[in-house]
Chain A
Amino acid sequence: MVTGTTGTAETTGTPATGTLERARALAATVTDPELPMLTLVDLGVLGEVAVDETGTVVVALTPTYSGCPAMATMRDDLVRTLGEAGLRARVRVVLDPPWSSDRITPAGRAALAAAGISPPGPAPRHDGPVPLTLAPVRRRVTCPRCGSADTGLTSEFGSTACRALYRCGTCLEPFDHVKEI
C-alpha cells in the first residue's frame, strides 16, 4: 500500500502533489451521515487537506453545531475512506471561523431541495447583542415538494440539530428546513 509522501516529497520538502490531489478528491466524496445527499464539501465543513511531515494526511473539519453527533461519524468516515485507499489520515478540528449555514454550496442547496429538504436562507449576523425575536419566525420558505409558498412552521427544532419542521399548506406534506445559523 502506498502511504504518505513519496521520494519526490523528500527531496523537495513538499508532499507529492499526486498524494495530495488524491487525498483531496477522496475527502470530497465523503457525505454527511444525516444528510447523505450532501458531501462534506457541499455542507461547507471540509477545510484544508494537507500532508504532515510523517506522511499522514491531515484533513481540517469544522463542526456544524456544538453537540452534533454526526461530527464523530464524519471524522471516522474521512479516516476510513482515505484508509481504504491506502492513505493514513487524521482529522484536525477547526473552530474558527465557526460554521454557518451560509457555507452550504449552491450545489448542496440544489441537492437538499431535490431530496425534499428546504435549504436555508441567509444567516443573521450580529456583532453586538442579539435582538430578541418574540414574533413567530418569518422565513420565505417554499415547499420543496410542490413549490408552493404557502408554508407554515411546525417547530423550530426537528429531527437533527440543524433542521426545523415545516408543513405545506397546499400539498399538506410536512418537510424539513435547514435552519439559518
Chain B
Amino acid sequence: MSHEDSVYDGLLVDDAHWAFGGSFEDPLAGVDTTVPEGADPTALGTYALMLGDDALVMAQRLAEWCSRAPDLEEDVALANVALDLLGQARLLLARAAAADPGLVPALPDGSPVPPEDRLAFFRDDHAFRNVRLVELPRGDFAETMARLLLFSTWRLALLGRLRGSRDAVLAAVAAKGCAEVTYHRDLAARWCVTLAGGTEESRRRLVAGFEGLWPWWGELVESHPVEAAVAADGVGVDPTTLREECEGVLDQVMTACDLTRPDVPSREGTGGGRGRDGRHTEELSRLLTEMQVVARAHPEGTW
C-alpha cells in the first residue's frame, strides 16, 4: 500500500481510489439478470423502476435534513436511512435497465453515464413511478418521522414478501433491504412514540403530520396494473395484499402513541392518475430540478 506516509497522499495519486470518483462500475456486475421464464420483461422493468423511484425520491427528501436535524445524532440517522434507500434505488434502477433497456433515456453517443444514473437524472417528472407520499415536502421533524413510519412500514412488508420473488435479483435486493428497513421503521416508530408523549407541542405536530399524510397512504396499498401483472408472474407483490399487515403495525404504534388512525379520505389522483401512473404533485418537479441540475448540465461528465 502506498498511502502510509500521509493520509492525504492517496488523494493525489489515482482518481479510481475515490469512493465517489472515478468510474462507478455496474452495481450488478457479474450478476445474472436474465428475466425469469414466463415473466414479462417490460412489466418487470417498470416494477423495478417503481420500487427504485420510491427509494430514490424518499432518499432525496430525507437528505434535505443534512445539517438541519434537531441534533447531530438525528442528522446522522436520517442521512444513514437516506443512504440505505439510495443504495436500494441504485440496485433497483440497474435491475430495471437490465430487464427493459427501453426504459433508459438516450444520451449523446460516448456519454459515460451508466443506465441507473440516466434513469435517475435524465427522466422528467411524468416518467417517475414513485408513490406520491414520498415526494411531498419534508415538513417538520415530526411530519418526517410520521412519513418515515408510513413508508418504512409499507416497504418492509413489501420487501419481506419480495424475498420470495422468482426474479433472483429482486429477491436478493429485497433480502438485503429488509434488514436495513427494519432499522428505519424502528427509528421512526420510537420517535413517533417519543413525540406523542413529549410536550403538548411535539404531540400537536405529530398529530398534524399524520393528518396531513394519511390521505396519501391509500395509494401505497392500491394495485396498479403493472403491480398486478408482476404479482401474477410471481416476480412482484400486489400491494393490496400488504394492507392488513401494514395497518396492524401502524395500529400498534398508534396505540403506543395513544392515538387513532386519522379519519380522513384518501386523496384523489392528480389529473386523473396516481404516482404509479406517472402523475405527480408539483412538488416532485421541484425536487427533481434540484436533484438533476448538475447531472443535466454535464451529460458527458464523469463523477
- The 0/1 profile, CB within 8 Å of A marked 1, for residues 73-109 of chain B is 1101101110111111011000000000000000000
A76 to chain B, nearest CB (A): 5
- Chain A positions within 8 Å of B193 at CB level: 134
Within the complex, which residue of B27, B85, B177, B256 is in contact with A134, where a contact is CB–CB below 8 Å? B256
Also in contact, A93 and B252, with CB within 8 A (given A76-B16, A157-B187, A159-B76) = no
Contact B245 A66, beta carbon cutoff 8 Å: no
Determine if A43 is an interface residue (Cβ-Cβ < 8 Å). no
Contact B190 A76, beta carbon cutoff 8 Å: no
- Chain B positions within 8 Å of A126 at CB level: 160, 178
- The 0/1 profile, CB within 8 Å of B marked 1, for residues 87-101 of chain A is 000111111111110
Determine if B28 is an interface residue (Cβ-Cβ < 8 Å). yes
Contact B175 A130, beta carbon cutoff 8 Å: no
Contact A92 B30, beta carbon cutoff 8 Å: yes
Determine if B8 is an interface residue (Cβ-Cβ < 8 Å). no
Determine if B253 is an interface residue (Cβ-Cβ < 8 Å). yes
Within 8 A of A (CB), among B219-264: 245, 249, 252-253, 256
- Chain A positions within 8 Å of B182 at CB level: 130
- Chain A positions within 8 Å of B293 at CB level: none
Determine if B157 is an interface residue (Cβ-Cβ < 8 Å). yes
Chain A interface residue number, banded:
35 or more
- Chain B positions within 8 Å of A179 at CB level: 183
Contact A161 B83, beta carbon cutoff 8 Å: yes
Contact B80 A161, beta carbon cutoff 8 Å: yes
Within the complex, which residue of B86, B175, B180, B186 is in contact with A97, where a contact is CB–CB below 8 Å? B175
Q: How far is the CA of A76 from the CA of B182 in the complex (A)?
A: 30
Also in contact, A154 and B175, with CB within 8 A (given A67-B90, A69-B20, A129-B160) = no
Q: How far is the CA of A135 from the CA of B39 in the complex (A)?
A: 42
Q: How far is the CA of A129 from the CA of B35 in the complex (A)?
A: 27
Also in contact, A63 and B83, with CB within 8 A (given A91-B29, A134-B256, A159-B76) = no
Closest chain A residue, CB of each to CB of B29: A93
Closest chain B residue, CB of each to CB of A136: B190
Given contacts A92-B31, A128-B160, 17 further A-B contacts (CB under 8 A): A58-B30, A63-B87, A65-B87, A66-B87, A66-B91, A66-B173, A66-B180, A67-B84, A67-B86, A72-B25, A91-B30, A93-B26, A95-B169, A137-B186, A157-B76, A157-B79, A157-B81
Q: Which 3 A-B pairs have CB atoms at the shortest separation, nearest pair first?
A: A67-B87, A92-B30, A66-B87
Query: What is the interface of chain B, defined by CB distance below 8 A to chain A?
Result: 16-20, 22, 24-31, 73-74, 76-77, 79-81, 83-88, 90-91, 156-157, 160, 168-169, 171-173, 175-180, 182-183, 185-187, 189-190, 193, 245, 249, 252-253, 256
A-B contact pairs, 22 of them (CB 8 A): A65-B83, A66-B88, A67-B85, A72-B20, A76-B17, A91-B25, A95-B28, A95-B169, A98-B179, A129-B245, A130-B160, A132-B252, A132-B253, A134-B186, A155-B74, A155-B76, A157-B76, A157-B77, A158-B76, A161-B83, A161-B84, A181-B180
